[in-house]
Homo-oligomer: A and B are copies of this chain.
Amino acid sequence: MMNQNPTRREREKVRQRQEMLAAALALFSEKGYLNVSMHEIAAKSEFAIGTLYKFFSSKEELYRALILEQSDRFLATLSKAIESPGDEIAKLRQYVKAKGEEFRDNAATIRLYFTETRGASFNIMAGLDQDIRNRRETFLHRIADIFESGIHTGRFQRIADPYILAVVFDNLCNSFLFLWLENPDKYSYPENPDIILNILFKGLIQP
């Protein structure tokens, strides 16, 4: 009874914070960082502007928090996928599937995330892009490890450096996912990971 009271407050705070971030996410992904005003975010999340500033001391901090939290969530989900049991191919298949689901379920977030990883918003905010690129690179090395291991076990050929394979593989996924994002009716990617894996696994030229 006595320690549930603070907990309720806490939970309430977390909920409010999430509502603010959700409103910010919707607006930023729709209009871009500099075209969104703090007043808009306050209005959309139905808080007073002062309340918004109680949670985030500046617009920049709000954006940073949003990007970092989403990117962590995104990478955590993908990490879990490549830790799934099975051989290297199974892991890659799981990864493709998980990434597809992320794109399908969090398109706005994903757009924002790519804004930051693709030098796109360059220089909007000192350091943020580096932070996120570093996280991405760390993550890419984990995929590289899968290729490394696959090469060791003889499952894969060493057609390129494992890190490069990881980058290529990841961007291969992105190619399909953007195709699908832009034309969801025509491309049904997220349902069939093997379309992607095949391209990587089979050579275009008969050996």
Q: State the number of copies, please.
A: 4
Per-position 1/0 for A15-41, Cβ under 8 A of B: 000000000000001111111000000
Interface residues of A in 141-194 (CB under 8 A from B): 155-157, 159-160, 164-165, 167-168, 170-172, 174-176, 178-179, 181-182
What's the least CB distance linking A6 to chain B, in Å?
17
Instruction: With A118-B118, A121-B120 as known contacts, state yes or no: A164 contacts B179, CB within 8 Å.
Output: yes
The reply on A133 being an interface residue by CB < 8 A is yes
B29, B156, B171, B200: which contacts A175 (Cβ < 8 A)? B171
Whether A1 sits at the interface, judged by CB under 8 Å, is no
Instruction: Pick the contact of A206: B157, B160, B172 (CB < 8 A).
Output: B157
Query: Can you list 14 A-B contacts (CB < 8 A)?
Result: A33-B34, A114-B118, A115-B118, A118-B120, A133-B182, A159-B203, A160-B198, A164-B179, A165-B204, A167-B175, A167-B176, A170-B175, A171-B172, A201-B203
By a CB distance below 8 angstroms, the chain B residues around A47 are none
Number of interface residues of A (CB under 8 A): 48
Q: Chain B residues near A205 (CB, 8 Å)?
A: 155-157, 201-202
Asked if A119 and B111 sit within 8 Å, CB to CB, the answer is yes
Measured between beta carbons, the chain B residues less than 8 angstroms from A35 are: 34, 123-124
